[in-house]
Amino acid sequence: MPQSAEKIKDHSTLFNEPEYQKLFENKKQFEGCHAQEVIDQQAAHINSWEYREKNFAREALVVNPAKACQPLGAVFAGAGFEKTLAFNHGSQGCTAYFRSHLTRHFKEPCSAVSTSMTEDAAVFGGLQNMIDGLNNAYHVYKPKMIAVSTTCIAEVIGDDLNAFIRNSREKGSIPQDFPVAYAHTPSFVGSHITGYDNMVKAVLSNFWEGKDRTAGTKINIIPGFDGYAVGNNRELKRILNEMEIEYTVISDVSDVFDTPTDGTFRMFDGGTKLADVEAGLNAKATIGLQKYCSDKSLEYAASKGQDVAAFHYPLGVGATDELLVKLSALTGKPIPASLELERGRLVDALADSNAWIHGKTFSVYGDPDFVYGMTRFLLEMGAEPIHLLATNGSKEWAAEMDTLLKSSPYGVKGQVWAGKDLWHLRSLLATEPSEFLIGNSYGKYLERDLGIPLIRLTFPIFDRHHHHRFPVLGYQGGLAVLRTILDKILDVLDVETAKTGISFDLVR
C-alpha cells in the first residue's frame, strides 16, 4: 500500500496512486457509468443557451440554493448574546447541520442543542421533548438565556412554542423568571436571514415587551447575518468608539466565534450583555446594517418609539459615508478627522489600482444585502457587474438593485436574478460569462466547470481559513476587499502571461 506510518500521504496525493485509481475505475464499471464521450456531450449541452432556457423554465425544483434555512440564522443570532444557549425545538440532525455549518466557516465550536424530536414526537407533539430539553439545557449548561427556534418537524405538526415554554416553566424545567426568547422559524418560508431577524426580534421583545421607554442617547446596531462578523463587529465598534458614540451591538458574535486557545474551553464567551439588551429599549435609535436581516426587528424598535435606519452591508466609500453621516445625525457627534483620513486613504488606494479593475466584469451572488453592497462597491471601482443573484432576494430587492445599476454608467450590463439558485447561475455564466465571480466556497464548482476565477468574500467560506477575522465593512474593510479582488486579478494575469512570457512583469 502507498500509505505508511513513516510517510503519511495526504488524501489529495494518496488517491492518485495506482491502487486507488484502479479502484475508482472498477467502481465506474460496477455502477455502469456512461462512456466519457457521452459525459462530454452532456457537459457541452448544459453550457448551451438551449439548456439555459430549459433550466430557467423549471418551477418546482431548486438546485444548490445560495441560502440556508431559517433556524440556522436563528442559532447564529441567538449565539450572539451573553451566555445564551441556542436551542432548536426539532430534530437532532438539523441542529448538527447548523453547528457544523457554522463551525466549518469559523473553525470554532458552535454550541447549540435540540429537543431531539423523533417519530413519536412527530405524531403526538413535542411538548415532553420541550419540557425535558429545557430542563436538561438549563441544568447541564447553566446558560443565562435560552434562545429557542424551530426546525421543520416542529413546524409541520404546529407545535406552539409559547404554550410549550409556559408549560415547561409550570413543570419546573426552568425558573418562572428565566429568560427564554423564542421564535417560530419555519424553513419552508424565508431563509437564514429571516430566521436571524425573527430571533433578534424575539430577544428584543423578551426584554422590552410591556415596559415603558425613556428615550436616551445610545444607539442599537443590528449587524445582520454576517460570516465576517468577527472582523466586522470589531471594526464597527472601533468606528463607533472613534466617534465617541454610546452603542449596543445587538447579537455580537465577534468573541463567541473567536475564542482564544489558552487551555480553557469557553462554552460561552462574549456576546451582548443581557442588561444592555434590556437597556436598549431606551436607545434613541436602532440601526440595521443589513436591511433584509432586520425588517421585523426594526419595525418592532420603531413601534417602541425609536428612530430606525437600515443599510445594505456598508462596503466601500459611499456606503460607509452614508452610515457615518447617519450616525452623526442621530447622535450629534461629528465624524472625526481620523475617519476622514481613512476615507482618503481608501480613495487613494482605489485610484492607485483603478487601471487594473476598471472595466473588468464580475458576477456576484449571496445574501441580498451583501450582493447590493458588493455591487455598489464594484460600481465605485469602475468595474462592471454582470449577473447579480440572491436566492433569498425579493422583488423589492430586485427593484433596489435595478435602481442601483441605473445610477452608474458601469451598471448597464448588470442583470438581477432574485429567487434563482446556483444551477441557474451556472447557465448564466456558461452563456454570458463574466471575468470573475464573487461569492462563497460553493462557487468553486462554477470556477472549476466554467473557468471563471472565484473571489471568496461571503458566508460560508469552508475551504479557506480566517477570512472572517478581517473586516470588510467600513473604509478599512474596503481596503481589504480591494486588495482581495486585485490579488485575484493579478494572480490570473500572472498565470496567463507566464504561459507566453509576454507582459509577465515584476511591477504591476
Phi, psi for 88 (deg, rounded to 5): -100, 130
CB contact at 8 A, 215 and 311: no
Alpha-helical (H) ranges within 313-394 are 316-331, 337-357, 368-380
Binding to ligand SF4, residues 452-481 (CB under 6 A): none
Is 199 a binding residue for ligand SF4 by CB under 6 A? The answer is no
Is 187 a binding residue for ligand SF4 by CB under 6 A? The answer is yes
Closest to 469 measured CA to CA, from 289, 269, 228, 223: 228
Q: How far is the CB of 187 from ligand SF4 (least distance, A)?
A: 4
Instruction: Kindly tell me which of 152 and 450 has the beta carbon lying closer to ligand SF4.
Output: 152
Query: Which one from 140, 148, 152, 347 is the annotated catalytic residue?
Result: 152
Is 151 a binding residue for ligand SF4 by CB under 6 A? The answer is yes
CA 346 to chain CA centroid, nearest Å: 25
Size (the chain), residues:
508
Which residues have C-beta within 8 Å of that of residue 211, sequence separation ≥ 6?
A: 281
Q: How far is the CB of 192 from ligand SF4 (least distance, A)?
A: 9
* Cell numbers 475505475: residue: 25
Is 94 a binding residue for ligand SF4 by CB under 6 A? The answer is yes
Instruction: Kindly tell me which of 97 and 356 has the beta carbon lying closer to ligand SF4.
Output: 97
Residue 156's CB is within 10 A of a number of other CB atoms, namely 14
Is 391 a binding residue for ligand SF4 by CB under 6 A? The answer is no
Q: How far is the CB of 184 from ligand SF4 (least distance, A)?
A: 12
33 in catalytic set: no
Is 127 a binding residue for ligand SF4 by CB under 6 A? The answer is no
Q: In the structure grid, which three cell numbers stand for residue 453, read together?
A: 476565477
Q: Is 264 exposed, middle or buried (0-12, 13-18, 19+ CB in 10 A)?
A: exposed
Which residues have C-beta within 8 Å of that of residue 136, sequence separation ≥ 6?
A: 113
In 3-state terms the chain splits into helix, strand, coil percentages (rounded to 5) of 50, 10, 35
Instruction: Kindly tell me which of 97 and 178 has the beta carbon lying closer to ligand SF4.
Output: 97
Q: How far is the CB of 99 from ligand SF4 (least distance, A)?
A: 11
- Could you say which of 15, 20, 97, 356 contacts ligand SF4 (CB under 6 A)? 97
Q: In the structure grid, which three cell numbers stand for residue 133, read together?
A: 430539553
Is 379 a binding residue for ligand SF4 by CB under 6 A? The answer is no
Query: Which one from 63, 69, 156, 507 is the annotated catalytic residue?
Result: 156
Q: How far is the CB of 149 from ligand SF4 (least distance, A)?
A: 9
Q: What is the C-alpha separation between 196 and 138, in angstroms, rounded?
A: 23
Is 104 a binding residue for ligand SF4 by CB under 6 A? The answer is no
Binding to ligand SF4, residues 31-70 (CB under 6 A): 69
Is 71 a binding residue for ligand SF4 by CB under 6 A? The answer is yes
Is 141 a binding residue for ligand SF4 by CB under 6 A? The answer is no
Task: State the sign of the Cα–Cα–Cα–Cα dihedral 394, 395, 396, 397.
Answer: positive
The secondary structure of residue 227, as a DSSP letter, is T
Instruction: Kindly tell me which of 62 and 152 has the beta carbon lying closer to ligand SF4.
Output: 152
Is 152 a binding residue for ligand SF4 by CB under 6 A? The answer is yes
Is 183 a binding residue for ligand SF4 by CB under 6 A? The answer is no
Closest to 480 measured CA to CA, from 307, 234, 287: 234
Is 330 a binding residue for ligand SF4 by CB under 6 A? The answer is no
Q: How far is the CB of 102 from ligand SF4 (least distance, A)?
A: 13
Instruction: Kindly tell me which of 97 and 462 has the beta carbon lying closer to ligand SF4.
Output: 97
156 in catalytic set: yes
Q: Is 123 exposed, middle or buried (0-12, 13-18, 19+ CB in 10 A)?
A: exposed
Q: What is the C-alpha separation between 313 and 473, in angstroms, rounded?
A: 7
Instruction: Kindly tell me which of 156 and 279 has the beta carbon lying closer to ligand SF4.
Output: 156
Is 191 a binding residue for ligand SF4 by CB under 6 A? The answer is no
Q: How far is the CB of 69 from ligand SF4 (least distance, A)?
A: 3
CB contact at 8 A, 186 and 150: yes
Closest to 68 measured CA to CA, from 279, 366, 323, 330: 366
Binding mask 332-371 for ligand SF4 (x = CB under 6 A): ----------------------------------------
Instruction: Kindly tell me which of 71 and 474 has the beta carbon lying closer to ligand SF4.
Output: 71
Instruction: Kindly tell me which of 91 and 290 has the beta carbon lying closer to ligand SF4.
Output: 91
Q: In the structure grid, which three cell numbers stand for residue 130, read together?
A: 420541550
CB contact at 8 A, 247 and 331: no
Q: How far is the CB of 73 from ligand SF4 (least distance, A)?
A: 11
Which residues have C-beta within 8 Å of that of residue 332, sequence separation ≥ 6?
A: none
Which residues contribute to the site for ligand SF4 (CB under 6 A)?
Answer: 69, 71, 94, 97, 151-152, 187
Would you please indicate which residues are annotated as catalytic (active-site) residues? Answer: 152, 156
